[in-house]
Amino acid sequence: MTCVKSKNREPGHFVKNHNGLIHVFDPVYKVNVYACVGNKDKAFGLFKKYLRHEFDLGGERCRGKFFSLRFQDQTVGVVWSRDFLIPLIHECLHATFWVMDYRGVELDEKSEEAFTYYHSFLFDSIKSSYAK
């Protein structure tokens, strides 16, 4: 397992890479998000091994998916994307909406910056964890 220390992050933020399953902990909203980027079989195996759940990752044309589930007495977000381009950006946006809704933040003119920063934070955390 590799722990990636990120620059310019809140104290307590971490990203861990469990053989390709990325675990992002956000200390601001106190949320855990797990992610896997790669083929569907690899993602399915990692989710089953580490999260102890089997998932329907969609049909052959599906390029990504976001869902939430109960894991170790908490609700966590789970992201799967076939690649680092549009599918990952798209699924991170779903995850962002879920985190904000989960923490009671409604999207409006006063909160839109929080949404955009969180989306960037999540995408960067996942993508940079694979680059190490």
Give the C-alpha separation, 81 to 87, whole Å: 6
* Higher-confidence position of 58 and 4: 58
Four-point Cα dihedral 50, 100, 28, 132, nearest 10: 50
The reported pTM is 0.85
pLDDT at 56 over 90: no
Percentage, residues of the chain above pLDDT 70: 87
pLDDT at 55 over 90: no
Question: For all residues of the chain together, what is the average pLDDT?
Answer: 85
Q: Which two tokens stand for residue 108?
A: 């409006």
- Report residue 68's pLDDT band, with 50, 70 and 90 as the boundaries: very high
Domain ranges of the chain: 2-131
Q: Give the model confidence (pLDDT) of 86-107 as tens digits.
A: 999 999 999 999 999 999 999 9
Four-point Cα dihedral 119, 121, 124, 129, nearest 10: -130
pLDDT at 33 over 90: yes
Mean pLDDT score, 48-58: 81
Mean pLDDT score, 13-38: 88
Mean pLDDT score, 45-68: 84
